């Protein structure tokens, strides 16, 4: 079964305190959903149209598990903590089996 991944890129962080509030809620929600944090604010070398700002990579045992974790009540509460106008490119992708 192919793994699932959350990939988040934050082109701009306008309110670091609200991002920290989101992170405090999102971490336990992701772990409860079976997610494993692989990268958080690590070094980035961007090419072409890439950006070097905050990148987060989370792995799940399956694509379905990744989708279910995003739809969970706990994670939806975490999303509510993101500030208005927050800029984030978030994707759930399926790995190669």
Query: Which pTM does this prediction carry?
Result: 0.89
DSSP state at residue 32: H
What is the set of domains in the chain, with CATH numbers? 4-94 (3.30.70.100)
Closest CA to 10 of 48, 56, 64: 56
Contact 72, 60 (CB under 8 A): no
Percent of the chain scoring above 90 in pLDDT = 56
pLDDT of residue 10: 85
Average pLDDT, the chain: 90
Most confidently predicted of 45-49, 70-74, 79-83: 70-74
When pLDDT is averaged across residues 65-79 and rounded to a whole number, the result is 95
Spatial distance between the Cα atoms of 60 and 69, rounded to a whole number of angstroms: 9
User: What stretch of H or E contains 78?
Assistant: helix 73-80
pLDDT tens-digit readout, 38-57 = 998 888 888 998 778 888 99
């Amino acid at each position: 079964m192919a793994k699932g991944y959350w990939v988040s890129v934050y082109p701009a962080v306008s309110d670091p305190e609200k991002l920290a509030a989101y992170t405090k809620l999102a971490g336990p929600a992701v772990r409860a959903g079976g997610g494993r944090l692989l990268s958080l604010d690590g070094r980035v070398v961007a090419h072409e149209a890439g950006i070097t700002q905050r990148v987060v990579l989370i792995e799940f045992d399956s694509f379905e598990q990744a989708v279910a974790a995003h739809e969970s009540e706990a994670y939806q509460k975490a999303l509510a903590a993101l500030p208005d106008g927050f800029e984030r490119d978030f994707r759930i992708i399926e790995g190669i089996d």
